[in-house]
Amino acid sequence: MTEKNWMTLCHLSALAMFIIPGIGNIIGPLVVWLLKKDEFPAVDTEGKEALNFQITVTIALLVSWILSLVLIGFVLIAIVGLANIVFIVLAAIETSNGRPYRYPFKLDIIK
């Protein structure tokens, strides 16, 4: 596989959330990043980007679940979930064309 393919896989692997609910969105990018970060510099960058975004999404979902006690959380869960899928697809498209992708909002936890 080429560097572009691994870059794309960094982002698409977050869809593992459908296989392992709750943490699959973090485990997928983490595995790809750990396997290929030393081999491909762009994969190192994209892996960190994908991980940071998925950690941010997970935190947002946790806050949304807490807010569901006052009903607004249910709306936030839907918005965060939909935005996550949209941004994963946008990131995959950009990186499959060889361009780096930067999510519009994320916490920079892994540097």
> pTM surpassing 0.85?
yes
Q: What is the pLDDT of residues 71-101, one digit of tens each?
A: 888 999 999 999 999 999 999 999 999 999 9
Q: What is the pLDDT of residues 41-64, one digit of tens each?
A: 999 999 999 999 999 999 999 999
Domain boundaries, the chain: 3-96
Split at pLDDT 50, 70, 90, the class of 66 is very high
Q: Residue 71: its pLDDT value, please? A: 87
Handedness of CA 1, 93, 60, 56 (dihedral sign): positive
For the chain, give the number of residues.
111
Q: Residue 37: its pLDDT value, please? A: 93
Tokens of 37: 């970060």
- Cα separation, 48 vs 71, in Å, equals 33
Contact residues for 42 (Cβ-Cβ < 8 A; gap 6+): 3, 7, 100
